[in-house]
Structure 1
Amino acid sequence: MPSFPQHPRRLLAALALAGAGWLPLSASAQLQLPTLGDGASITTSDERRMGDRIIRSLYRDPDYLEDGPLQEYVEGIWKPLLAAARARGELSPELDERFAWQILLGRDRSINAFALPGGYFGVHLGLIGVVGTRDELASVLAHELSHVSQRHIARMIAQQSRQSPLVIGSMILGALAAAKSPGAGQALMIGGQALTAQNQLNFSRDMEREADRMGYGLMAPAGFAPQGAIGMFDRLQQANRLNDNGSWPYLRSHPLTSERIADMQSRLPAGQRAAQPAPSLEHAMMAARARVLSRPGVDVLRQWTRLPESSGFDETPQGQRVAGLYAAVLAHMQLQDWGPARAGLPALTQALAGDAAGLRQAALLAAELELAAGQPQAALDALAPAMQADDKADKPTRPVLLLRTQILLRLGQAQAMAQPLQTWVTLYPRDAAAWQTLAQLWQAQNQPLRALRAEGEAQAAHYDYSAAVDRFRAGQELARRSGSQSDHFEASIIDTRLRATEELLREQAAQR
């Protein structure tokens, strides 16, 4: 399958239809493009189906990352931006209902983010690790959101007048496969067509300016400092001078121009522009987490473990010190050095100096450490501060819910987590990790029929309808064998979900 790293990662810029110019365009395969339209010839349903087709492949990619703390942090930035776009009337009811509005994380050290057809968005860990504040990250997400809300992707697709959306989706996937395995004949053939489409589907300068303007307008209503957008432009401008190593694909897919830079820089008075928001300690910790989880290599991990012992470390600014301590503990965990990892936690807690959000992340890290080290009771004790924070807010958070369930499963005490998890998947039916955790819980409680249904829902949430049908059919067969002893209500749900998923599978096969 295609991978986020290396050349396929760069092609994700093309996936986003914000493609870069790094790939050669075959002169014999030029496509003639009509004048820019409004995207009306591409329906929202077509665009969503194409996005589903692409995202299904990325879910199976080995670099797709399911990480509770990072996903929650990025979602905490993303959701206010989406709410602001709704409040400002920038999302039509049709777009809001039909599109996914979903973010995926990739273990990619390159600095990049991308939008896909149908309202899917990708964020590389390299971007999270390099931005200075949550406001800077918000400015990137707001820009990508505006590309989709203004239907820039549909406009670009509409220009390919002789290609259907599903064909373009196939071409994009073919390009990914060809870049992954150049010797694959069919994939290479399809990919050759996709390389043509990539260069023809670059966002225009007008679209980039519109995304700049619309994205900037979302910042303050969403609760972010508009200076973050200016700071990100300054950061990109500096990186543009050092882009020879190809580590900033965002600059290739969203090329800076002096006009765009001047426009953004002029939106704030000079005095306010200088007042950049300070990074939060939580952001420093999440940026450090992103850098460690991007698989930098054993040598780099060992360097991070030695960072707190380096000369002058105790005199560094608080944010840098917290990030260094967090990275050291997590790097020790990645190296399975449990003792040194535990030894670093008190210094991290002390450096946080009572910061509530930071202490919650430290508690999650400590619980994650103990669970990985095979000490579930110690993990439960370490998780207590984060659980108390959830209780005070009277609202479960996803990282605490899933981590607590995994801990209690190890302790054989997970019965009480069934209801909270069921409530969660009712609210968030496309949360595959929650469904899979629920399946583990039901299996541990000797409820195999419910476990099979949850496994099926987990596969369906990632658009793997073939695997979902397999699980639902297994549940149907188990219900038949159990006869009168079967849970008839659950069996009825499985029958209904099987029929619906078989229909989706037929549609999926027809699209191929």
Structure 2
Amino acid sequence: MLVAALISACCVLPPQPALAVQNLPTLGDTSRESLSPLMERKLGEEVMHDIRRDPDYLNDAPLLEYLNNFGWTLVNARPEVRGEAGFDFFFFAVRDPVLNAFALPGGFIGVHSGLLLAAQSESELASVLAHEIGHVAQRHIARMVGSQKQDSMIALASMLLGALAMRGSGDAGAAVMMGGTGLAMQRQLNFSRDAEREADRIGLSILDAGGFETSGMVAFFGRMQTASRNYSDVVPPYLLTHPLTTERIADIDARIREQRYRQRADGLDFQLMRARVRVLQDDTEQGRREAQIVFDAQLQLNTKQQIVAAKYGMAFLAFKQEAYGKAEDLLQQAVAAALPAKQSLMLTDLGVEIMLVTNRETEALKLVQQGQAQYPLSRGLAHQYARVLIASKRLDDAIKYLREQARLYRQDADVQDLLAKAYSAQGKRALQHMALAESYVLTGSVPAALDQLRIARNSGDAGFYDQSMIDARERELQERWKEELKASKER
């Protein structure tokens, strides 16, 4: 499907005008690109469909919310990095202990769980994300294929998927890469020195404008480089694809010396996020034992943030082990230790989760409403509010709320899944499967969506209006699927 979409689009999309971003360096003439901004975004979305189906994709609402709030703080510090294409950046995490991060075409930026745990401050994490934002802002992947034939995008797609497949299986990744152009494309994906210097400069300007410590970039990269010297056979993947040369370090140091030094205190959410990731990274018994050891040691540091984070991590660990009483007790200790500071979204989220699983819907509703008053734009709390309404049997209220959410957030597959759950509880099978069809469309599975529409048509409770909606949507998706199959055969 990925390759089919690429071929179909590259046959009809003309090259776009050169990217003009104020005060940002340029690399080559973008007017001759064969990968337009629209095509670049399409490529990124198609790759993301595959990533989201990977079991190591961390589809964890509090983590995704933290990463995107944090990432957009960086983007908003230098809004011009969105460029003429106006990329809507999306930040996500994958479960992998190695230190790595990567930028996909069109504004998608991934971070390995190992890197999130290795970052010792928000400024260090910001330095990595800002660097990746720099690659997206300068459209380095588009420039790399700009002088190639359009068919090179197919190989690029294979390489992107192969690099991701290698996380879990080197053989699987190599097989995907062989389907593209192999070693040549692998080398092409490694950013050039000029591209790396560009990303460094943009990253530093983002850090400075956002009020982060610019020294965090050298500190973090330097620690990874030291690790690679100590373990010569285990070079961090981030340094393989983003080689930190002596020249680059000197250039970054020189630029840092020109900037005013500032010290930035980390927010509580940063420590809570790391505690959550430590539990999510390894759900085996050994992994949980190791997480407990880390949290016990963290308590001995005897600083407020570390104590709150350790208690929260232990509460989340107990929740995963279905020890709900213990989890609630530890969470209350974390909340008490955090007061009188502003409460965290992550603390509220876990509190609602515990109340839901222990069938205390009234308390859960009160807590989630308090959270929404404090964090009105939180997507995670919006989903939880709907879940609480469904659990409370307030199905009409849940459906009314979710349909409004679906109008406001058209790309939110979770809203469609929750709608399907609410309709199912009402026994409305046609509407249930129509909602599931929309969820499958949003996650990139058109055949599965068509199957759901067929089930909806034959459910027995579809009225005339529902049948009309099903027919219209089915025709639209069938046409879309035919175009993708046709493009695949022409490959």
TM-score normalised by length of structure 2: 0.83
User: Aligned partners of 2:174, 2:273: CA distance in 1, in Å?
Assistant: 41
Which residue in 2 is equivalent to 1:470? 451
Structural mapping, 1:301-340, within 5 Å: 301-305=288-292, 313=299, 316-340=302-326
Give CA-to-partner distance per residue, 1:206-249, whole Å, 9 cap, x none.
1111112122323455xx3231x421321220221113374732
CA contact (8 A) 1:125 1:290 kept: yes
Does residue 387 in structure 1 map to residue 369 in structure 2?
yes
| Change in 2 beyond 3 A, CA 1:79/1:442 | farther
Give CA-to-partner distance per residue, 1:390-448, whole Å, 9 cap, x none.
2356x352111212322332332343222332222222222112221121112212332
CA contact (8 A) 2:276 2:313 kept: yes
CA contact (8 A) 1:178 1:191 kept: no
Paired residue secondary structure (1:193):
coil
The sequence identity of aligned pairs, in percent, is 32
Structure 1: segments with no counterpart, 5+ residues: 1-34
Q: Aligned AA for 2:135?
A: H
Q: Aligned AA for 2:310?
A: G
Which residue in 1 is equivalent to 2:114? 126
CA contact (8 A) 2:155 2:181 kept: no
Which of 445, 455, 473 pairs up with 1:497? Answer: 473
Paired residue secondary structure (2:182):
helix
CA contact (8 A) 1:370 1:376 kept: yes
Paired residue secondary structure (1:241):
helix
CA contact (8 A) 1:113 1:250 kept: yes
Which residue in 2 is equivalent to 1:352? 338
CA contact (8 A) 1:111 1:247 kept: no
Report how many residues are paired.
458
Paired residue secondary structure (1:429):
coil
| Change in 2 beyond 3 A, CA 1:498/1:188 | closer
Structure 2: segments with no counterpart, 5+ residues: 1-26
Which of 102, 105, 110 pairs up with 1:117? Answer: 105
| Change in 2 beyond 3 A, CA 1:235/1:434 | same
Which residue in 2 is equivalent to 1:60? 53
TM-score normalised by length of structure 1: 0.80
C-alpha displacement of 1:74:
0.9
Which residue in 2 is equivalent to 1:486? 463
Paired residue secondary structure (1:242):
helix
Which of 276, 284, 287 pairs up with 1:297? Answer: 284
User: Aligned partners of 2:259, 2:198: CA distance in 1, in Å?
Assistant: 25
Give CA-to-partner distance per residue, 1:254-288, whole Å, 9 cap, x none.
12123322333333458943x43121111110111
Structural mapping, 1:86-97, within 5 Å: 86=79, 88=80, 90-93=81-84, 95-96=85-86
Does residue 416 in structure 1 map to residue 400 in structure 2?
no
C-alpha displacement of 1:55:
2.1
User: Aligned partners of 1:76, 1:464: CA distance in 2, in Å?
Assistant: 28
CA contact (8 A) 1:308 1:328 kept: yes
Which residue in 2 is equivalent to 1:239? 224
Which of 239, 251, 267 pairs up with 1:280? Answer: 267
C-alpha RMSD of the superposition: 3.1
Paired residue secondary structure (1:225):
coil
Which residue in 1 is equivalent to 2:3? none
The 10-residue stretch of structure 1 (286-295 or 166-175) with the greater mean CA deviation from structure 2: 166-175
Q: Aligned AA for 2:74?
A: L
Which of 327, 336, 354 pairs up with 1:369? Answer: 354
| Change in 2 beyond 3 A, CA 1:76/1:173 | closer
Which residue in 1 is equivalent to 2:408? 427
Which residue in 2 is equivalent to 1:75? 68
Q: Aligned AA for 2:95?
A: R
Structural mapping, 1:451-462, within 5 Å: 451-462=432-443
| Change in 2 beyond 3 A, CA 1:492/1:239 | same
Give CA-to-partner distance per residue, 1:344-364, whole Å, 9 cap, x none.
123211221222243x42221
Paired residue secondary structure (1:63):
coil
